Amino acid sequence: MGSSPSALTAVVVHRRRPEACVRTGELLAAQGVGRLLVVDNGSPSEDLAAVRAGLPGAEVLELGRNTGFGPAANAG
């Protein structure tokens, strides 16, 4: 197999635990995930800033409120 980027996308639902979110993203990247989508469930702006700083290549979708895990996962 070649060293082309993975077509696999991972969706991580986040709420108020930026350190855990960043660590999860790092572990997924180490496993070859090509794209990371973080769906935020209404976290404070400082938590979002920490996620963006820790995962600069990730796409962050802000829902603006806590919709619950299922709806947030479906949004991704």
- pLDDT, one tens digit per residue, over 12-25 is 999 999 999 999 99
> What is the DSSP code string of 4-35?
PPP--EEEEEESS-HHHHHHHHHHHHHTT-SE
Q: Which of helix, strand or coil describes residue 49?
A: helix
- Bridge partners (DSSP) of residue 39 are 13, 61
What is the rounded distance in angstroms from the CA atom of residue 25 to the CA atom of residue 12?
8
Segments making up each domain of the chain, as ranges: 13-75
Query: Other CB atoms closer than 10 Å to residue 36's CB: what's the count?
Result: 21
Give pTM, 2 decimals: 0.90
pLDDT digits (tens, 9 = 90+) for 47-71: 999 999 999 999 999 999 999 999 9
